[in-house]
Amino acid sequence: MKRVFERPESLKETPFRYCPGCGHSLIHRLITESIDGLGLREKVIGIAPVGCAVFAYDYFKFDMLEVPHGRPPATATAMKRVLPDRIVFSYQGDGDLAAIGTAEIIHAAARGENISVFFVNNATYGMTGGQMAPTTLLGQRTSTTLKGRDAAVTGYPLRMSEILATIEGAAFIARASVDSPKNLLKTKAFIEKAFRYQIEGKGFSFVEVLSPCPTDWGLTPEASLKWIQSEMMTIYTLGVLKDRHG
């Protein structure tokens, strides 16, 4: 009998413990499929911070480094400069990259560091109780914006891909989503391109992925996917925002 699910070699057999409907498991699979397809498993180094991303070391079957909140770009910079033959990537959530780590990611892009960054945007602080994140939409209710995010009080959502696309040192900036099979394929293509650009020494690559958080959104997994389509995509448009070598 033919197996429907073939586990990528770079993905451990450890069962995922993410919440039902969480997008991290899908993104993990796309990253590992890309790594295996490009033959990178023996030379790749992943870096993850605090947050739901911290669990990545339980699932990726290659070298992983855990670092303080917001510091993956700085650590990736050091790792790549010391070991330039390795493929180095960071795996970060929005509470990490777009809040305490904002300066780190902006200056890594400005320096044109030859690393790949995968940014999971679920518009909330997922691990710590669903508080407002820099990416939380206006009107979106969280555990710290019970009446919805109000621009007069907490400002506007940060569009990190658009911000980074303005930086001269950035080579490839794209936004994708895991809301549908079609977009899963596009997400994988962007991830592979980010890795290829690093292999070819083309500089800083950044892929943002819109991802569901049913638990903190208070929605079913199915409704969460629809919310990405009806709400998140109106603010965070999909596609390639910058491709310096395309």
Which amino acid is located at 28 in the chain?
H
Domain membership flag for residue 109: yes
pLDDT range class, residue 112, cuts 50, 70, 90: very high
Domain membership flag for residue 41: yes
Residue bearing the bigger pLDDT, 128 or 29: 29
Domain membership flag for residue 13: no
Specify the 3-state DSSP secondary structure of 117.
strand
Q: What is the pTM of this model?
A: 0.96
Q: What tens digit of pLDDT does each residue of 47-102 get?
A: 999 888 888 889 999 999 999 988 999 999 999 999 999 999 999 999 899 999 99
Overall number of domains in the chain: 1
CATH label of the domain that carries residue 157? 3.40.50.970
Domain membership flag for residue 1: no
Domain membership flag for residue 18: no
Q: Average pLDDT of 172-191?
A: 98
Other CB atoms within 10 A of residue 153 CB: 8
Q: What tens digit of pLDDT does each residue of 3-17 get?
A: 567 889 999 999 898
**59 and 16 Cβ atoms separated by less than 8 Å:** yes
Domain membership flag for residue 119: yes
Which distant-in-sequence residues (6+ apart) come within 8 Å of 133 by Cβ? 94, 95, 98, 99, 123, 124, 125, 142
Q: pLDDT above 90 covers what percent of the chain?
A: 87
Q: Average model confidence (pLDDT) for the chain?
A: 94
Domain membership flag for residue 16: no
Range of the domain at 125: 24-243
Domain membership flag for residue 179: yes
